[in-house]
Amino acid sequence: MSIFIDAGTRLLVQGITGRDGSFHTRQMMRYAAQVVAGVTPGKGGQTFDDAVPVFDTVADAMRETRPNTAVSYVPAALAASAIFEAADAGIALIVCITEGIPVLDMTRVLPFVHERGARLLGPNCPGLISPGKSKVGIIPDTICRPGRIGVVSRSGTLTYEIVHQLSTQGYGQSTCLGIGGDPLIGTNFIPCLEAFQADPETEAVVLIGEIGGTDEQQAAEFVSRAMTKPVVGFIAGQTAPPGRRMGHAGAIISGASGTAAEKMAAFARAGIAVMQRPADVVPLLRERL
């Protein structure tokens, strides 16, 4: 099992003919993802790599190919509009990889997506992968192994670092997903934790947070209230100065609640095993499993 995606995922790629979109579409197809359609306005009627029909609009693609998931590589200036379009066409899961979408755009996108009943992952996220089954986004599949650990993170390369530690030490993953480094994102930790708790093939969860906001504290509260599976957690940004944006637009400490110390304390209170460094992940999991 896995969460949110599986071998039955029918994927649509927004921005399929762009530089990033085409590169990652090939990577996803190589990993046996079922890419059923692409969308690039003005390029409808073309075929991508002799295999994937390209449409002008998501609605057209929906009628012809029935995708249930969309992934977007659309540039930041047009990315909010691409999310609106996918949600309007009835796509159930929208994964937005794009970095640099203005936060104010997201204040309008999020209620719209919610009203349409869609789930948005991201923006500014690496997407998700269920090793051996399907991949949506940009997580390098070579570092992943099929297995029973769920990984959920606000980061990209830090996630790869920790997944690499897991895979090389014998711990495969059920699903790895990045929820995004922006201040306003479609899916926070809790729905992911809920799905991992319900997934019979996930035995334990690795939760990777960072400074800024209070999502980690809310996740900790959820873990103590609703999870029986072991959770191991990490917070990046212990050395970050307050008031500065640490790369990710969402990684900024304002007030005490956004600090790493506060979040690590919330984890510990919730019974989450707190990693001091990425290399602690396997020893802590071993203790708990």
Partner 1 sequence: MNLHEYQARDILRQHGIPVPPGDVASTPEEARAIAARLGGRVVVKAQVHAGGRGKAGGVKLARDAAEAAAHAATILGMTIKGLPVGRVLVAPAADIAAESYVGVVIDRASQRPVVMVSAAGGIDIEAVAVESPGQIHRLAVDPRYGLLPHQAFGLGLRLYRDTAQARAAARIMEAVYETFYAVGASLVEINPLATTPDGALVALDAKIVIDDNELERHPEIAALRDSSAEDPSEVAARRAGLSFIKLDGSVGCCVNGAGLAMATMDLVKYYGGAPANFLDIGGSSNPQKVVAALRIITADPNVRAILFNIFGGITRCDDVANGIVQASEQVALTVPLVIRLTGTNEALAVEILTRAGFSALTDMDDAVRQAVALAAGRGVGAR
Q: Which residues are catalytic?
A: 248
Task: Name the minimum Å distance from CB 200 to partner 1.
Answer: 29
Site residues (CB under 8 A) for partner 1, limited to 118-147: 138-140, 142-143
The vertex-200 CA angle with 194 and 204, nearest 5°, equals 65
| Nearest-angstrom CA–CA distance, 233 and 109 | 30
Using the minimum distance from each CB to partner 1, give the nearer residue, 136 or 211.
Answer: 211
From the CB of 184, what's the least distance to partner 1, in Å?
5
Choices 32-40, 52-60, 61-69, 273-281 (CB under 8 A): range interacting with partner 1: 273-281
Peptide bond preceding 111: is omega within 30 degrees of 0, i.e. cis? no
Near partner 1 by CB under 8 A, which window of 7-15, 88-96, 193-201, 230-238? 230-238
Q: Does 236 bind partner 1 (CB under 8 A)?
A: yes
254 binds partner 1 (CB under 8 A): yes
Give the whole-angstrom CA distance, residue 36 versus residue 52. 6
Length of the chain, in residues: 289
117 binds partner 1 (CB under 8 A): no
Task: Tell me which of 155, 174, 197, 202 binds partner 1, using CB under 8 A.
Answer: 155
**47-48 and 93-96 beta bridge pairing:** unpaired
Does the footprint of partner 1 cover residue 102 (CB under 8 A)? yes
Contact call for residue 88 and partner 1 (CB under 8 A):
no
Residue among 48, 154, 158, 94 nearest 106 (CA): 94
- CA distance linking residue 174 with residue 128, whole number of Å: 11
Closest contact distance (angstroms) between CB of 278 and partner 1 is 6
Query: Considering only residues 156-215, where is the footprint of partner 1 by CB under 8 A?
Result: 156-161, 164, 181, 183-184, 208, 210-211, 213-215
Report, in Å, the least distance between residue 13 CB and partner 1: 16
- Shortest distance (Å) from residue 12 CB to partner 1: 21
| CA-based nearest residue to 196, from 162, 173, 218, 180 | 173
Closest approach, Cβ 59 to partner 1, in A, equals 22
Q: How many CA atoms lie within 13 A of 7 on its CB side?
A: 3
Q: Does 216 bind partner 1 (CB under 8 A)?
A: no
Q: Which residues bind partner 1 (CB under 8 A)?
A: 76-77, 100-104, 106-108, 110-111, 138-140, 142-143, 153-161, 164, 181, 183-184, 208, 210-211, 213-215, 234, 236-241, 244-251, 254-256, 260, 276-279
